[in-house]
Structure 1
Amino acid sequence: MPGIKKWGALSLSLALVAAIAAGCGSSGNNGNNANQASNASKPGNAGAANDAGSKPDESLKPLKITFFDKNTGDAFTNDVAQEITKRTGVTVEIQQPTGNPTEKLNLMLASDDLPDIVLMDRGGDIVNKYISTGALIPLDDLIDKYGPDVKAMYGDTLNKTRYTDGKNYYLSNWYGMSEGEPVFGFNLKMNFLKELAPDKAAGGQPFTADEFEQLLKDFKAKYPTVNGKPTTALTMDGSNMGAVTGTFKGMFGMKTYYETDGKLQYDVEDPKYKEMILYMNKLYTEGLIDTDWAINKKESWLQKLSSGTVFGSTGAYWDLGTANTALKKDGGEDAEFFDYKVVGPDVDPAKTTYGPQGSLGWDAIGITKANKNPERTMQFINFLASEEGQYLLQWGVEGKHWDMVDGKHVPKPEVLQGFKDDWNNYSKTTGIRKWTWFIKAGKGSDGTVYDLAGRYDRSEIDKMAIKNLGDSVWNTDTYDNLGPQGGTPEALISQKVNDIMTQNITKAIIAKNAAEAGQVFDKMLADMKAAGSEKIEKIINDNYQDRLALWK
């Protein structure tokens, strides 16, 4: 799924997951209000920005802005870049890090050598460091005066991304919910599935846990080898445990935390989590899960999938893109993996949780204290955040890359083909989806998706995932980043607790039998408690209540 940070060569482990993708928004604020705000605040037009004191001719006066973007270091010279400069008067000097972006961000902060705008991971401690040290300036007054489109497009997201002092210090990137866009699932090879379960191959009907287990057994019985090579019923990417557990948690309807009566506990304390582990252990001891799954790296995992000897895998469907490309080339579309839902015992199929999505975005983009032109910078941001700006960033230049036909955005055929042929190079050359700033997922007021490259021309794999798992999407916002602040003693305790979980979950899955798996799991819970898990849960719950109060 391209919007969760993982589309083709732009794979993001965003996923997943981004998330993957990614990635992640509704169109609730994309209607007339957004259009009116956009028309009022375009550079050179009379409107909210000019009422605030900016003269039309001044709004296009040449200005260079330095921009630290952890995702790119390319020159700001392609078609979209030139159009942005034409529309705003702003030329962007990209300052992309060499090496680790977080290290560069910390170095810039320590040396007080800051760019005008900075883009960083929203979920990390680095954002709080930049805010608490005064490196980022509050945006509220600037948004009030120069950001009508920011208000219209972001809506309640502005309320939810406020700092503890009630102010906004950054704008989210890749924000909003992608309704009906799944994340995790059980990816099954279509040619085998059509033979083994033809009634389920077309999609729309989930497998029960027992049916899925029997399906894997049937595969091994019918296909002990393929082309003389041993087969694997189910493999997993051991280097991406989030995708492994995320898939099975989705099956059992579990979320980030185990919540009872408004109190949050670690997810492993949910009785269903142990049930999930025992189910996974059963599949493993029956020889249905790859014996080497725990040591699989992404590359070896993809190689196994590409071999044609594997029936299924966990994870986000877009992460299998490389394998599916190879399989389709050799065996056609039916040789590819398609995404299906499996439902745990006593779980309502509509309450499965395969699609965790945060609407508050992956990245944070802020104006630093080094910026000498914050007003013009906000006008620049306002244009990019507007519906018009979003279509420019993600569709390209009107007349060159797309046309407006009967009130709808229609891409040029060569643009769609360009992304199919060579995503990275075409994006770099044209600028379409290259400058991913202030990106909102979802659809514009004419009903067309903002994300042309990732969401306009959907593949059959995408369509199947949406059909089977589109009802499994849920919003993670209230649970995100509730742990202790980085650099504190509590953060060290939290890390120790997490390490205990990570190590023992794998041990329980690959245990010799159910009794041993249960013992490993029970000891894990005891070890977590001894390490201080209850202390961390108190912090999590305090932060949870503070967040709920802040968002009222």
Structure 2
Amino acid sequence: MGKKKLVTIAMSLFIAASALAGCSGGNSNKNNETSASQAPASSDQPASVEPVTFTYFNFQSRGKDVMASETTIGKILQEQTGVDWKMEYLVGEEDTKAGVMIASGDYPDVIAPEGQIDKLLDAGAFMPLDDLIEQYGPNIKRVYGPYFDKFRQADGKIYFLPYSADQGYIGDPNISQGAFWMQRSVLKEFGYPKVKTLDQYFDLIRQYKEKHPQVEGKDTIGFAVFAPSDTFYNIQNAAVHLAGYPNDGGVYVNMDTHEAKVVAGTDDIQKPWMKALNEIYAEGLFDAESFTMNKDQFMAKVTSGRLLGYFAYNWQIGEATNNLKTAGIDEKRYAPLPVVFNENIKDQYVDPPSFVNNRGVGISVDAKDPVRIIQYFDNLLKEENQILVQWGEKDVTYSVDEKGRYFMTEEQQKNRDDTNFKLSYGFQYFEYGWPRYGSNSLLADGNSYGVGNQPEVAASGFTDGDKELLAAYDAATFSDYFSDPDDRPWYPAWSINLGQGTPEQIFTTKSDDLQKKYLPKMIMEAPDKFEATWAEYMKEFNKLDKATYEKTMNEMIQNRIAGKW
């Protein structure tokens, strides 16, 4: 689950003090926003286009390390700015990589830190951007200006630009977030039945596996959750969705009282989910490798045709499902289902409008030329370049009809679904991990910013199998048979920052560690031991300072409801 924290006041003072020390003498530029020799006289002067290469590190594994200019998008942006990037991506554990960076004090020019953002902020890895934005960021101010107060840190400064700054709003016609996914061959086998409850979902998998125990000589796999250590939140979040809540992180929020309660250890949310998995594991329906397989191994199972159902977020494994679509293996693709515990629960899988204030990209204190970098960011936020990084080039990767609506031809859609094309063109690298509009934004001409949210693209991309399935559920798009999201002005609560080393942050760490120890155990042991293991888990869990965590979360949620972020 997302656990986000504020920079502590003490560390903020340290950062400020370091900045002053840097200004007082010496050769280090760390924590300075710019040096006089780097800055043009004013922002009215055109940005330099002299060739320069900067380093960029992303804590996601989005692709192989590459020079930006080796991609089509990166080359176009280089021609505009003179800037190239040596782009590197995470290999191994996030914590380890962040620890090495911090211990060495050696940072790339730009960092997209994902879940390590608070550690790097506390370590003073990022320079403040306020003066740079004021002097060289008219497009940054246009896009992020209404949100500035939502991501200033405890010292009042801005250290990174989030990935979410919606310009208008359009919903997702499909399901790009979490769901209980089921192989379409299972649904087709039983005449596309309505699948509302978890019992119904597992019963279909059970029946199909009994009829088809093997696929091409290998055992059929009933159900998996993509939940190794770094995505363990999938096993945690599934329980919240089953209970009719969206992903608010470590808590669920009552819609009437707006009171937040911890999800872990709940008798009516986490426990029934664990018990259900314990039961299907005993039947041989649950994949024991759910907690150990890496992403490549999980995607291999998704594309093998052997896995009948899984829980994950579509953005985690979209590459695998796109490969199935490209290969034309329609029946082995997966349909998202809004599964809940019982018929009386309203599903909440579709995210409401939101602002995520603790994911983004920042300029490090080691940056060679922060002015050129902020100018690159500002240029990137011009609408024509936001179109470039999402849609590409007109008549090449997308088309425009006589009404000005964006769409894709069959060939263009085929390319967009091809992972190798996305890598070579640069979509894989530039559509996320840089300053950007929010995913649900609208462009000035009314087209969708996100390609997948454009109704024309969604409709034209549907295969015959898609159309058959949608017709069976009387839906025009996959989100049509999910409930509309309820308005949640605090959403997502997982983006609330708690501060490194605070009692609240310590609670989340210990709670996660405890769940990683006990949840797999209670799933994979004999059913007659489940209650004893649950009791042991709760005995340990009740030793944690849940009360302080809940009190703080409730205060922060009330602040957000009142418009105070």
Which residue of 2 is the match for residue 519 of structure 1? 532
Please give the per-residue CA displacement for 1:463-489, whole angstroms capped at 9, x wherever unaligned: 864344473698784422557544568
Percentage identity across aligned positions?
22
Q: How far, CA to CA, are the matches of 1:173 and 1:427 in structure 2? A: 20
- More divergent stretch after superposition (245-254 vs 70-79): 70-79
Q: CA deviation at 1:365?
A: 2.0
Q: How far, CA to CA, are the matches of 1:138 and 1:145 in structure 2? A: 13
Residue of structure 1 aligned with 2:224, choices 232, 235, 243: 235
Gaps of 5+ in 1: 1-15, 18-51
Superposed counterparts of 1:214-363, under 5 Å: 214-224=203-213, 230-239=219-228, 240-254=231-245, 255-256=248-249, 257-259=251-253, 261-273=257-269, 274-290=271-287, 293=290, 298=295, 301-317=298-314, 332-345=329-342, 347-349=344-346, 351-353=347-349, 359-360=355-356, 363=359
Residue of structure 1 aligned with 2:171, choices 179, 182, 188: 179
- More divergent stretch after superposition (245-254 vs 322-331): 322-331
Gaps of 5+ in 2: 3-40, 471-476
Please give the per-residue CA displacement for 1:458-514, whole angstroms capped at 9, x wherever unaligned: 45588864344473698784422557544568755543332222222223333433x
Residue of structure 2 aligned with 1:211, choices 191, 195, 200: 200
Q: CA deviation at 1:338?
A: 1.7
Q: How far, CA to CA, are the matches of 2:525 and 2:126 in structure 1? A: 50
Please give the per-residue CA displacement for 1:192-223, whole angstroms capped at 9, x wherever unaligned: 32222x143xxxx5423443344344334544
Which residue of 1 is the match for residue 516 of structure 2? 502
Q: CA deviation at 1:262?
A: 4.9
TM-score of the pair, normalised by structure 2: 0.71
Which residue of 2 is the match for residue 380 of structure 1? 376
Q: How far, CA to CA, are the matches of 1:323 and 1:404 in structure 2? A: 29
Q: How far, CA to CA, are the matches of 1:420 and 1:379 in structure 2? A: 32
CA gap of 1:308–1:95, structure 2 versus 1, over 3 A, is closer
1:124 is the counterpart of 2:123: no
Q: How far, CA to CA, are the matches of 1:432 and 1:300 in structure 2? A: 24
CA gap of 1:303–1:144, structure 2 versus 1, over 3 A, is closer
Please give the per-residue CA displacement for 1:282-305, whole angstroms capped at 9, x wherever unaligned: 444455434665555555555555
Which residue of 1 is the match for residue 54 of structure 2? 66
Q: CA deviation at 1:232?
A: 4.2
Q: CA deviation at 1:381?
A: 1.8
Q: How far, CA to CA, are the matches of 2:344 and 2:275 in structure 1? A: 16
The answer (yes or no) to whether the contact 2:161–2:435 under 8 Å persists in 1 is yes
The answer (yes or no) to whether the contact 1:153–1:387 under 8 Å persists in 2 is no
1:159 is the counterpart of 2:149: yes
The answer (yes or no) to whether the contact 1:83–1:397 under 8 Å persists in 2 is no
RMSD: 4.3
1:430 is the counterpart of 2:390: no
Q: How far, CA to CA, are the matches of 1:246 and 1:156 in structure 2? A: 30
Q: How many residue pairs are counted as aligned between the two chains?
A: 489
Q: What secondary structure, in the 3-state scheme, does the structure 1 residue paired with 2:178 have?
A: coil
1:91 is the counterpart of 2:80: no
Which residue of 2 is the match for residue 8 of structure 1? none
Q: How far, CA to CA, are the matches of 1:230 and 1:302 in structure 2? A: 17
CA gap of 1:415–1:307, structure 2 versus 1, over 3 A, is closer
Q: Which amino acid aligns with 2:207?
A: D
Residue of structure 1 aligned with 2:187, choices 189, 193, 206: 193
The answer (yes or no) to whether the contact 1:67–1:95 under 8 Å persists in 2 is yes
- More divergent stretch after superposition (431-440 vs 163-172): 431-440
The answer (yes or no) to whether the contact 1:247–1:354 under 8 Å persists in 2 is no
The answer (yes or no) to whether the contact 2:349–2:482 under 8 Å persists in 1 is no
- More divergent stretch after superposition (374-383 vs 174-183): 174-183
Q: How far, CA to CA, are the matches of 2:104 and 2:302 in structure 1? A: 47
Which residue of 1 is the match for residue 27 of structure 2? none
Q: How far, CA to CA, are the matches of 1:129 and 1:55 in structure 2? A: 34
Q: What secondary structure, in the 3-state scheme, does the structure 2 residue paired with 1:446 have?
A: coil
Q: What secondary structure, in the 3-state scheme, does the structure 1 residue paired with 2:67 have?
A: coil
Q: What secondary structure, in the 3-state scheme, does the structure 1 residue paired with 2:312 have?
A: coil
Please give the per-residue CA displacement for 1:60-97, whole angstroms capped at 9, x wherever unaligned: 5536362423266422324433432443x332342637
Q: How far, CA to CA, are the matches of 2:406 and 2:320 in structure 1? A: 32
Please give the per-residue CA displacement for 1:390-442, whole angstroms capped at 9, x wherever unaligned: 11223334566556554344567765443444x33x34443445334213223
Q: Which amino acid aligns with 2:232?
A: M
- More divergent stretch after superposition (482-491 vs 504-513): 482-491
Q: How far, CA to CA, are the matches of 2:425 and 2:306 in structure 1? A: 39
Q: What secondary structure, in the 3-state scheme, does the structure 1 residue paired with 2:88 have?
A: coil
Q: Which amino acid aligns with 1:430?
A: Y
Q: How far, CA to CA, are the matches of 2:518 and 2:336 in structure 1? A: 28
The answer (yes or no) to whether the contact 2:53–2:84 under 8 Å persists in 1 is yes
CA gap of 1:522–1:182, structure 2 versus 1, over 3 A, is farther
